[in-house]
Each structure stands twice: as structure tokens, then as C-alpha cells.
């Protein structure tokens, strides 16, 4: 039997990057997938079409994870198409990097809303279903800079530190209902998000990574599959670094 067979998973920000790699891994492991993204590209539609051919059910939903109402409507729509929700991966995220001196209120609000409020929105929206089922696994995408902080990323680091607090509180509040909640803290992962960093910054990052390479989206997807699956049935309230051994 495959690791996630019979489970239904929701992944936010699944149109590309880490979210799409998680969708691919979950599909390989037999999960049915409700994938959300702000914009659904043609590539994403093709990706879902291909996965549907493998015998699992996969559907994309256009949804703004930072918008409370939108998240609730999306979950209502997902529940019309799927009869249960076993796993929620709060993956959607953005950066608006600059030094505090130059950071505008809009840059702060956008990052906090997309990276942190989104997880509150989606968790609230799936809770009733998971509580009724008496089983659920929520995985929140944090970051190593949520623990260490990072110059030029005050908004991003704060949002990712918030994800850790949310994760630990959710785990404590919902453990009695057999709902687990864990966070993943990726280090430097090679996606469109990090592609926009300067070569100098990328080289600096790689120098401090003991494994001497950037991570791949698949490196993060593998750990997410473990946390979504029953293999991690006694793991909750934890932050797992996927960072090539970097100190945080």
C-alpha cells in the first residue's frame, strides 16, 4: 500500500515550486489532491491532467490564501468534490525583501497576510471536518529564518516565526482530537522564490550549508509526505529543518 493511499490532501500555493513538488510526491504516494493557487497557469492545468490519468483525483482551485472569506468558500467547494480532508499543507508564501528602513506598510502587510494569516484562514476552514473525522495532519511551511532572523527579511522572518507559534498552539489545542500539526523550516531551496536573489547572496548561502548545495523542492516534499502520513502518527508540534545541516 502506498504511503498516502485513501487520503485527501489540500496544498496551498501548489502552482509551482515547493507546493507543486509536494503535489507530485503526494500523488506518487496515492493521495487525492485539492490544490489551490492565486492564479492557475496552463502548465498547472496540464500537471493536474497528467496526475488525473494515474488514477487519483486532482483538482485545482483558484483561491487567495490570504483572504479569509475566499478560503472558506474554497473549502466548501473542495468538500463538494472530495468527501474528506486528511492533510492540509499551508505552503503559499511570498517575499517582499528590503531593509527595515525602506520597508513600507504594504510590504509588511502583504507578507504577513500571505505567509501567516493564510495558515490561520485555511486551518479554521478545515477544522470542523478534521474534528468530525477525528484525524488530520496540518503541515505549515515555515523557514530557517523564522528561527534565526535575516537582515532584509524582517517581514518574512516574522511571518515564518509566527508559523512556528501557530503550529505549536494548534498541536496543543487539537491533539485530543487526533489532529497533528507540524512545521517544516526549509533552508535555501532552489525555486523561483530564490532564483531572484543575487549570485553573491546565493554563493554566501551555499557556503554555510554543510551539505554544500541548495535544497530541491523534492527534498522538502519528501519530509512533507512523512508528516502527512501515518508514519508520523506520534509527531506533533515539531519544527523540522530541511536545510542541509545549516545552523539556525
Is 114 a binder of ligand NAP (CB under 6 A)?
yes
Shortest distance, position 66 Cβ to ligand NAP, whole Å:
4
Q: Is 170 within 8 Å of 119 (Cβ atoms)?
A: no
* Segment contacting ligand NAP by CB under 6 A, of 16-24, 47-55, 101-109, 232-240: 16-24
Closest to ligand NAP by CB, 67 vs 178, is: 67
Count of residues engaged in binding ligand NAP, rule: CB under 6 A: 29
C-alpha dihedral, 247 to 108 to 183 to 88, nearest 10°: -150
Sign of the Cα pseudo-torsion (90, 109, 37, 196, in order): negative
What is the phi/psi pair of residue 60, to 5°? -95, 145
Shortest distance, position 82 Cβ to ligand NAP, whole Å:
19
Determine the Cα–Cα distance for residues 160 and 218; give it in Å rounded to an integer.
20
Sign of the Cα pseudo-torsion (7, 81, 173, 21, in order): positive
Q: Among residues 39, 80, 101, 102, which is the contact residue for ligand NAP, using CB under 6 A?
A: 39
Is 136 a binder of ligand NAP (CB under 6 A)?
no
Is 15 a binder of ligand NAP (CB under 6 A)?
yes
Shortest distance, position 16 Cβ to ligand NAP, whole Å:
5
Q: Among residues 51, 85, 92, 240, which is the contact residue for ligand NAP, using CB under 6 A?
A: 92
Is 71 a binder of ligand NAP (CB under 6 A)?
no
Shortest distance, position 209 Cβ to ligand NAP, whole Å:
11
Active site residue 156: yes
Residues that bind ligand NAP (CB under 6 A): 12-13, 15-19, 36-39, 64-66, 91-94, 114-115, 141, 143, 186, 188-189, 191-194
Active site residue ranges: 156
Amino acid at each position: 500500500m502506498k504511503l498516502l493511499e485513501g487520503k485527501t490532501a489540500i496544498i496551498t500555493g501548489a502552482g509551482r515550486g515547493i507546493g507543486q513538488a509536494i503535489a507530485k510526491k503526494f500523488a506518487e504516494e496515492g493521495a487525492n489532491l485539492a490544490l489551490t493557487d492565486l492564479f492557475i497557469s496552463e502548465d498547472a492545468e496540464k500537471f493536474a491532467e497528467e496526475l488525473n490519468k494515474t488514477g487519483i483525483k486532482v483538482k485545482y482551485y483558484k483561491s487567495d490564501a490570504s483572504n479569509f472569506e475566499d478560503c472558506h468558500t474554497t473549502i466548501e467547494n473542495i468538500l463538494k468534490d472530495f468527501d474528506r480532508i486528511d492533510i492540509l499543507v499551508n505552503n503559499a508564501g511570498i517575499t517582499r525583501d528590503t531593509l527595515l528602513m525602506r520597508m513600507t506598510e504594504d510590504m509588511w502587510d502583504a507578507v504577513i497576510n500571505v505567509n501567516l494569516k493564510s495558515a490561520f484562514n485555511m486551518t479554521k476552514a478545515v477544522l470542523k471536518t478534521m474534528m468530525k473525522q477525528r484525524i488530520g495532519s496540518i503541515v505549515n511551511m515555515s523557514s530557517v529564518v523564522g528561527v534565526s532572523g535575516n537582515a532584509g527579511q524582517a517581514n518574512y522572518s516574522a511571518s515564518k516565526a509566527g508559523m512556528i507559534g501557530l503550529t505549536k498552539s494548534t498541536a496543543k489545542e487539537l491533539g485530543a482530537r487526533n489532529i497533528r500539526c507540524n512545521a517544516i523550516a526549509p533552508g535555501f531551496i532552489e525555486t523561483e522564490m530564490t532564483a531572484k536573489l543575487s549570485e553573491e547572496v546565493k554563493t554566501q548561502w551555499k557556503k554555510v550549508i554543510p551539505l554544500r548545495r541548495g535544497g530541491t523542492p523534492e527534498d522538502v516534499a519528501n519530509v512533507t509526505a512523512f508528516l502527512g502520513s501515518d508514519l508520523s502518527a506520534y509527531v506533533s508540534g515539531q519544527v523540522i529543518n530541511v536545510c542541509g545541516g545549516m545552523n539556525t
